[in-house]
Structure 1
Amino acid sequence: MQNLETSSPRILAAKGDGIGWLTFNQPEKRNAMSLDMWQATGEVLESFGADDEVRVVVMQGAGDRAFVSGADISQFEKHRSNAEASAEYNRIAGHSRKMLAMLDKPLIAKIRGYCIGGGLAVALAADFRIASEDSQFGIPAAKLSIVYPYDGIRLLKELVGPGNAKKILFSGFRYPAAEALRMGLIEEVTPVEELDAVVRNYAETIAGNAPLSINGTKQAIREMGRNEADRDLDRLAALQTEAMNSADYAEGRRAFMEKRKPVFTGT
């Protein structure tokens, strides 16, 4: 595992075996997101996106109490005291949210403990979410007179439906992992002691699969989220053609015939 430098000690980054690890590292505040954490998160994601050695990214929280418990409210007086101050905060955080949304590589949220407010927005941007049984989920925006960001509401509604989205947002309640799974907020729940192994198994499997195939799937699902008139079906067809003409497709066929594990290069 290779540790990477970041612009904030509250964000840790490492890579190895095709996996990029992004860790929210403020456990004394349950990994609440500060402005410098947002800044560094965008930088790390941009770096992982451009790194051919990284084929899948896993986000996680440091310690055992939280994935991300929301925004670091202690910074609100300085950085979000009014609309003007919030605009700069939102510019920086918005860039990182864009990097989360536009990352072309698979993105997994590994969740233990609190996943609240802005932390849930981060998790919603992942391709799928795996949580431990002791995790809790909620959005307390209505208790703070905050309007949750549009993209966060859209992603929430796409996962759980409009009724559950309104229930979560209107009430501000915290929901246990089992209820989050029932609503469709997360894709898998695992015992605490198995979380690391389950997530690593998914990440290693994805890292070993064909990058062109995975990228094509991610792009197709992304296009499905657009208005029908705006979907770039020609681009998706081009991705299919590229995959069929690739060295990886030839390698996949050979490996199947030779009954061995394929070695994909993304070309």
Structure 2
Amino acid sequence: MTEPTIRYHARNGVAELVIDNPARRNAMTLGMWRMLPELVARAEADRDVRVIVLAGAGDRAFCAGADISQFGQARDSEASVAAYDEAVAAGDAALVGASLPTVAAIRGACFGGGMGLAMACDLRFAATGSRFRVPAARLGLGYSFKGVRTLVQKLGFTVAADVMLSARIIEAEEAAALRILNQVWPAERFEEELAGRIGMIAGNAPLTLRAAKRALAELARPEAEQNSQAVADLVEACFRSADYREGQAAFREKREPVFRGE
């Protein structure tokens, strides 16, 4: 059996991070949580990458959450529990704070920590047949304050309360209606539709995407911690960029712009 991992592949402006632990429905091991910030940083350092896509290997599961089979060893003391929780928080934070747009491409089960990963991404697209659940209330686990805040920010109080307190399974179509998802596509067309949407994002001006991402990230912080000047600086850089001039020229010449992130 292959070692659980997160595979990384970059091409055509897209860095794909694939959660690969199919024997456990792509559950995240401690090592995988620790890999995630490194892989996000790798994508950010690649000037050719415009979008980060997080997916699960196969079509049975995006991610079933944390690999509970590790808990006896990885969470057997107060110190190890703290280290484990820190690794999970760092993985989620890497996605939330990424300077590039992040997309969760969901097929199959998206439960627990897997739903946390999906919610940490900017956009969430799913195939029909996908299912969503935060099962902590069925396991006797508590919710972290940051995790609850993320759900409330992205879903609103009422939906977040339903998701957490009921611990029920939510089908993809209802998840879209509740705004857990941006869009659901038929499973047989999912890859095609997803590629089209990601290509649309990747074809946009990189500096504009970074400025928008930073603004969204700052707005997600408590107001006292927001850095509006950092956003203003990125917006100013857009106006000074060669890409802005290219965008204007392409509009005048009625052609597609070719952006270089400069």
- In 2: Cα distance, 1:229 partner to 1:11 partner: 35
Deviation of 1:237 after TM superposition, in Å, equals 2.2
Q: How many residues align?
A: 260
Residue 155, structure 1, aligned to residue 150, structure 2: yes
- In 1: Cα distance, 2:226 partner to 2:40 partner: 25
Unaligned runs of 5+ in 2: none
SS of equivalent to 1:63: coil
Q: Identify the residue that residue 99 of structure 2 maps to in structure 1.
A: 104
Q: Residues 101-180 of structure 1 correspond to what in structure 2 (within 5 A)?
A: 101-180=96-175
Q: Identify the residue that residue 247 of structure 1 maps to in structure 2.
A: 242
Of 66, 81, 102, which residue of structure 2 is paired with 1:71? Answer: 66
| Percentage of pairs with the same residue | 38
- In 2: Cα distance, 1:255 partner to 1:129 partner: 30
Deviation of 1:174 after TM superposition, in Å, equals 0.7
What CA deviation, in whole Å up to 9, does each residue of 1:46-69 have, x standing for no partner? 111111111101110001100001
SS of equivalent to 2:125: strand
What CA deviation, in whole Å up to 9, does each residue of 1:43-97 have, x standing for no partner? 1111111111111011100011000011111000010134322112123233222
SS of equivalent to 2:59: coil
**Residue 73 of structure 1 aligns to which amino acid in structure 2?**
I
**Residue 161 of structure 2 aligns to which amino acid in structure 1?**
K
Deviation of 1:238 after TM superposition, in Å, equals 2.1
SS of equivalent to 2:55: strand
Q: Which aligned runs of 4 or more in structure 1 are off by greater than 4 angstroms?
A: none
- Please, what TM-score do these two structures have when normalized by structure 1? 0.93
- In 2: Cα distance, 1:69 partner to 1:123 partner: 11
- In 2: Cα distance, 1:251 partner to 1:27 partner: 45
Q: RMSD in angstroms over aligned alpha carbons?
A: 1.4
- In 2: Cα distance, 1:235 partner to 1:45 partner: 21
SS of equivalent to 1:237: helix
Q: Identify the residue that residue 32 of structure 1 maps to in structure 2.
A: 27
Contact 2:96 2:217 in 1 (8 A): no
Residue 89, structure 1, aligned to residue 88, structure 2: no
- Please, what TM-score do these two structures have when normalized by structure 2? 0.94
